[in-house]
Chains A and B, each alone.
Chain A
Amino acid sequence: QSALTQPASVSGSPGQSITISCTGTSSDVGGYNFVSWYQQNPGKAPKLMIYDVSNRPSGISNRFSGSKSGNTASLTISGLQAEDEADYYCSSYTSSSTQVFGTGTKVTVL
């Protein structure tokens, strides 16, 4: 159950688009369309941003989008805003019927 691999940090200027990758294996990310993304602000609980690879829960801005290719999932934030500065984690279902999270990515708005 190794953690999925994410870049430690990603940064961008307001209005720009950034993409966070989440790399796993064919036993998790590549094998199922059960990839989710979570936003976590300091001292707060995580918040669901994307589920089932590319679906947005009600109330989540359409500036957030998800995709997947092979063993790598991606979260794109377009029109970057100061409020988007947070930690982001991906998660995936696995062939062992468990869940695994990514290593986490700190997003900085320059």
Chain B
Amino acid sequence: QVQLVESGGGVVQPGRSLRLSCVASGFTLSDYGMHWVRQAPGKGLEWVALIWNDGSHKYYADSVKGRFTISRDNSKNTLYVQMNSLRVEDTAVYYCARGSGGYFTRFDPWGQGTLVTVSS
């Protein structure tokens, strides 16, 4: 079945870096755009980044632009996000989601999420 599994979360100090991974199974990753979405504790969803199916286009939320980099390795069925210069406000559960439809605007399915805690 279609499945997304995130990993790489943990506790990190402000200013440090972390890389999250999302392994896809049950579908051909290269056919879909992929998103990262985060949710701070007790808060709503916040879109973070999108990468097109072939990696040719990448888009970011203003809150992470210049600090986060989304990438993918279709041969490894894996999506990544490199998070640099982390801030306390980046603390959240990070979800990857498959994007389909026009401009990959349909988020389905989602992974189970991985928790990133930025704290000194």
Chain A residues in the interface with B (C-beta under 8 A): 1, 3, 34, 36, 38, 40, 45-48, 51-52, 57, 89, 91-93, 96-104
Q: B106 to chain A: which residues have CB within 8 Å?
A: 36, 48, 51-52
Across the A-B interface, the 4 shortest Cβ-Cβ residue pairs: A48-B108, A45-B110, A34-B105, A104-B44
A49 nearest CB neighbor, chain B only: B108
Contact A93 B50 (CB under 8 A): no
Chain B residues in the interface with A (C-beta under 8 A): 35, 37, 44-47, 50, 57, 59-63, 95, 101-103, 105-113
Q: How far is the CB of B89 from chain A (nearest CB, A)?
A: 15
A103 nearest CB neighbor, chain B only: B44
- Whether A102 contacts B44 in the complex (CB less than 8 A), given A46-B95, A51-B101, A97-B59, comes out as yes
Contact A91 B110 (CB under 8 A): no
A54, B108: Cα distance in complex, Å:
16
Partner of B47, one of A40, A45, A91: A91
Q: How far is the CB of B47 from chain A (nearest CB, A)?
A: 4
Contact B112 A93 (CB under 8 A): no
Contact A98 B105 (CB under 8 A): no
Q: A52 to chain B: which residues have CB within 8 Å?
A: 101-102, 105-106
Q: How far is the CB of B52 from chain A (nearest CB, A)?
A: 10
Contact B113 A99 (CB under 8 A): no
- Whether A99 contacts B50 in the complex (CB less than 8 A), given A89-B44, A91-B107, A104-B45, comes out as yes
Contact A47 B35 (CB under 8 A): no
B110 nearest CB neighbor, chain A only: A45
Among A40, A48, A102, chain B packs the most CB atoms within 10 A around the CB of A48
A9, B72: Cα distance in complex, Å:
38
Partner of B61, one of A89, A92, A98, A104: A98
Q: How far is the CB of A53 from chain B (nearest CB, A)?
A: 11
A92 nearest CB neighbor, chain B only: B105
List 20 contacting pairs A-B, 8 Å CB cutoff, sorted by A: A1-B61, A3-B46, A36-B106, A36-B107, A38-B107, A45-B109, A45-B112, A46-B37, A46-B45, A46-B107, A46-B110, A47-B109, A51-B101, A52-B101, A89-B45, A92-B105, A98-B61, A100-B47, A102-B44, A103-B44
